[in-house]
Amino acid sequence: MSLSKDDTSLKSYFVFKTGLGWCGVVSSKKGILRILMGYPSRERILRKIVAEFGRSIAKTPAKGNIADKIKRYFSGGKVSFKCVLDWSFLSPFQKKVFKASMKIPYGAVESYGSLAKKAGCPRGSRAVGGALARNPFPLVVPCHRVIRKDGSLGGFSAGGGLELKKKLLKLEGQVRNSNK
């Protein structure tokens, strides 16, 4: 993400606990800038937020809509993550990849190569993987639903890594036992 730590004047955050660890949401006036999830403690997620956005970022009370949706999703509920995102710092390619990823339905998976085609870059499966590795909006942009063409998981950069990706896929009815 190419946001400056010094540019925190309009940014705020809140953190909350779920059944799958601590989560945090960072917002600007334009919308959500970052969703963090799967952290084992409040302290670890706060350190990550400060490292990424600086110490002067403002703490706000939890905004119920997105926090409630994330908690419901982690409890096994089927949730539609429609919310306002701040896309201003993303490249045109990242926007294409993320928008294509948002069309993968709950409970479905798609390969990096297939997603690359849908994003207009048919030979760009590695580039798609790179974009998804820097996805600032996990769950809203469901990068956990993107796997390798051989059925293995690929990567996952959220706080809980591949174990969290497995849990998210299992919540959606996709059982994956290994990363091959």
Model pLDDT for residues 50-90, shown as the tens digit of each residue:
999 988 888 887 666 899 999 999 988 888 888 899 999 99
Cβ pair 57, 5 in contact under 8 A: no
Rounded to whole angstroms, how far apart are CA atoms 158 and 63?
21
Directed axis angle between helix 92-101 and helix 125-133, to 10°? 90
Query: What's the CA gap between 36 and 25, in Å, rounded?
Result: 6
Per annotation, catalytic residue among 23, 83, 121, 143: 143
- Specify the pTM: 0.86
**In the chain, what are the domain boundaries?**
12-74, 92-171
User: Does the 92-171 domain belong in CATH 2.60.40.10?
Assistant: no
User: What is 12-74's CATH topology?
Assistant: Double Stranded RNA Binding Domain (3.30.160)
Is 121 annotated as catalytic?
A: no
Give percent helix, percent strand, percent coil of the chain, each to the nearest 5: 35, 20, 45
Tens of pLDDT, residue by residue over 7-31, are 445 789 999 999 889 999 999 989 9
User: How far is residue 45's CA from residue 85's CA, in Å, rounded to a whole number?
Assistant: 20
